[in-house]
Amino acid sequence: MNLPFWVRRAHKWIGLVIGVQALLWMLSGVYMTAISLDVIHGDHLAHVFNEPLDARHDRLDVEQLARLQPGFESLKLKKFLGREVYELRAAGKASLVDARSGELLSPLQREQIVSRARDIYQGEAEIREVTWITQAPQEVARRPVPMWAVRFDDRANSTLYFSPDTGDLLARRHDLWRWFDFLWMFHIMDYDTRSDVNNGLLRVAAGVGLLFALSGAWLVFYSFRRRALA
């Protein structure tokens, strides 16, 4: 049996099979290392500030709030658009109520979300579109729906996603993030959810790549050994 012949042939065909994926690994890796994760995460697009609370005593206490909004399990006092509110949670669902009157503010309406978006957006572009989302697009597939999407008319096609219950910023998305997500799909070879780094296809590709490296290493060793014996 001509072992070197068959190893060389296997190395060649394995290289043809895994070569395209190896190129995708390298291209995606270069992109991921060239651009800061802070930029990818969109930290420069929007900053959420915790506004200081007022030194006032006319807000509702827990007992008064429980009479107006019974059944909540926990609460947090904060400011929303310059207004003191309580964020109440019950059975895994959150809502906002006015801290002085106990008025239920959730779900937040379009005008409130627009004000919130303008308040935290760090660019100078105008809002291009505001959309009520009931089926999450791929770029926010793991965020809870419904949500509000506020799109800005900037070069990066920036989009901010907000919770209609609390006004919290759920996600920042822009073109650099979208390219990262697209290349990440090829990098981990998960073409469905783009999040499973332990999928079978990636394991097979990694195994084939290992065979390619081992066969190449064997051929190098064989070549030097053959020359030494010559």
Q: For residue range 108-119, what is the model confidence (pLDDT) as tens digits?
A: 999 999 999 999
One-letter-per-residue 3-state SS of 142-196? CCCCCEEEEEECCCCCCEEEECCCCCCEEEEECHHHHHHHHHHHHHHCCCCCCCC
* Model confidence band, residue 1 (pLDDT cutoffs 50, 70, 90): low
Question: Percentage of the chain with pLDDT > 90?
Answer: 63
Query: CB of 149 within 8 A of CB of 127?
Result: no
What's the rounded Cα separation, in Å, for the pair 177 and 45?
12
Q: Among 60, 96, 105, which Cα is nearest to 78's?
A: 96
Residue 62 Cα to chain centre, angstroms: 36
Tell me what pLDDT residue 30 has: 95
Is 229's pLDDT higher than 60?
no
Type and span of the H or E element at 47:
none
3-state SS, residue 102: coil
pLDDT digits (tens, 9 = 90+) for 148-159: 999 999 999 999
pLDDT of amino acid 124: 93
In tens, the pLDDT along 67-108 reads 988 999 999 999 999 899 999 999 889 999 999 999 999 999
> Mind listing the pLDDT tens digit for each residue in 117-134?
999 999 999 999 999 999
- Looking at residue 11, its pLDDT comes to 74
pLDDT at 26 over 60: yes
Structure-block tokens of residue 3: 């072992």
Considering the chain, what is the average pLDDT of its residues? Answer: 90
